Amino acid sequence: MTKPEVIGSSKSTYTRVVRMVCEEKGIEYTLTETAIFAPELFTVHPLGKMPALRHGDVCLFESKAIATYLDRVFVGPEIFPSAPLPASLTEQWVSFTNTAVDRTFIRTYLYEYIAARRDKRKPDRNVIDSVLPDLHRQITILDTAVKATGFLVADRFTFADINLMPILHRLAQAPEGNDALARAVHLSKYYEQHAQRNSFQRTSPPEGPPSRTK
Ligand SMILES: N[C@@H](CCC(=O)N[C@@H](CS)C(=O)NCC(=O)O)C(=O)O
């Protein structure tokens, strides 16, 4: 079968999610390294975001849609459970992560550090301090969620975990995020344990955020 081509950056959390899916399922793929908003991304993604996927005649964007496609087309461990409750719980945690956690941990909190470094200035304490209550609340929610089994859904590693792990990795790269994760007993254990997985190790990103063409 043709190898899927993942278009994105090894520094991008959502590109890493798709790469982890390939690794978990043992799918041979190629990664085409691009900057955000690069022309090759616009050939698949109407907004030029990453990741995008090409597989034969199939073109897809949105990491979860790409993951669903890969899970259904390729053999290997099922990363989206099919039984009704685990399937719905996977949806629940993916939605929560993508709409709340990603916005708080990455787009608001971490991006302030990234912007400060890029602009050679100090991080704006107002931005950091005003996001911390949401950050701590969401850490507590995730900490409670993984307490019983060490997974977000039932007692197995699913797409819900794949979708969260790259975000936790980035969170731990800034001081308050690192502290908050370290103090969340169950979530930090969860992170340390799943960080040992081959799919996580083999997709470990180089330092820094993905570059942008504009
Ligand atoms: N919902 C999209 C999010 C994709 C996304 O925002 N990717 C980031 C890189 S990790 C990006 O392209 N950011 C550029 C921007 O939002 O301006 C997905 O799951 O694929």
Q: Which of 11, 12, 14, 62 to mutate to test the pocket of ligand 1 (most atoms within 8 A of CB)?
A: 14
Atom of ligand 1 at shortest distance to CA of 210? 9
Which residues are near ligand 1 (CB < 6 Å)? 12-14, 36, 49-51, 62-64, 210
Asked if the model's pLDDT at residue 44 lies above 80, the reply is yes
pLDDT for res 6: 98
Rounded CA-CA distance 24/162 in Å is 9
Q: Ligand 1: which atom is nearest the Cα of residue 50?
A: 12
For each of the domains in the chain, give its residue range(s) and CATH number, in order of start. 5-79 (3.40.30.10), 84-200 (1.20.1050.10)
pLDDT given for residue 65 in this prediction: 98
Q: What is the pLDDT of residues 147-179, one digit of tens each?
A: 999 999 999 999 999 999 999 999 999 999 999
Per-residue model confidence (pLDDT) at position 207: 84
Residue 208 is predicted with a pLDDT of: 77
pTM of the model: 0.97
pLDDT tens for each residue of 195-207: 999 999 999 998 8
Q: What is the pLDDT of residue 209?
A: 78
Model confidence at 214: pLDDT above 70 = no
**Residue 88: which pLDDT band, with cuts at 50, 70 and 90?**
very high
Residue nearest atom 1 of ligand 1, based on CA coordinates: 62
What is the residue with the minimal CA distance to atom 16 of ligand 1? 49
- Mean pLDDT of the region 66-87: 97
| Residue 39 token pair | 């022309």
| Single-letter residue type at 119 | D
Round to whole Å and give the CA distance between 73 and 68: 9
The per-residue pLDDT of the chain, averaged, comes to 97
Query: What strands, in cross-sheet order, belong to the sheet with 58-61?
Result: 30-33, 5-8, 52-55, 58-61
